[in-house]
Amino acid sequence: MNRTTLAGHALTASAFLLAGLLVLQLAQHGSLETPAHASMVIAQPGYTVMTARTRVDEDSFFALDNRHGTLVIYRLSARGELQPATVIDLARVFGDLDAPPQ
């Protein structure tokens, strides 16, 4: 084994050691958890999706279909199961938004 090979192995071992220490530090400070915040929003011309905490042990996923005016809500349970909660037709809730005001 020459010096270059030995140096490569030492650098690889150091990288794994540093990565392990980083994971331990993040786990101790709770930074590995990613709680849902309403600020986690993705908006595109045809749809908008976001996550939000809806109960103590439950997050929800909201998907808004901008073209059809439909809001679909899924619940993410504490066990990590995604369950459909409800589908809302926003045209029925808010009326015909394209109609002129009366």
- Is-contact 89 67, C-beta < 8 A? no
H/E run at residue 63? strand 58-65
Tell me the average pLDDT of the chain. 77
What pLDDT band is residue 80 in, cutting at 50, 70 and 90?
A: confident
Tell me the per-residue pLDDT of 1-17, one tens digit each, with 9 for 90 and over: 688 888 877 888 888 77
Tell me the per-residue pLDDT of 23-68, one tens digit each, with 9 for 90 and over: 777 677 665 555 655 557 888 888 888 888 787 777 888 899 888 8
* Secondary structure of residue 53 in the 3-state scheme: strand
What pLDDT band is residue 77 in, cutting at 50, 70 and 90?
A: confident
Give Cα separations from 28 to 32, 67, 73 (angstroms).
9, 45, 33
The end-to-end CA distance of the chain, in Å, is: 86
- Is-contact 87 74, C-beta < 8 A? no
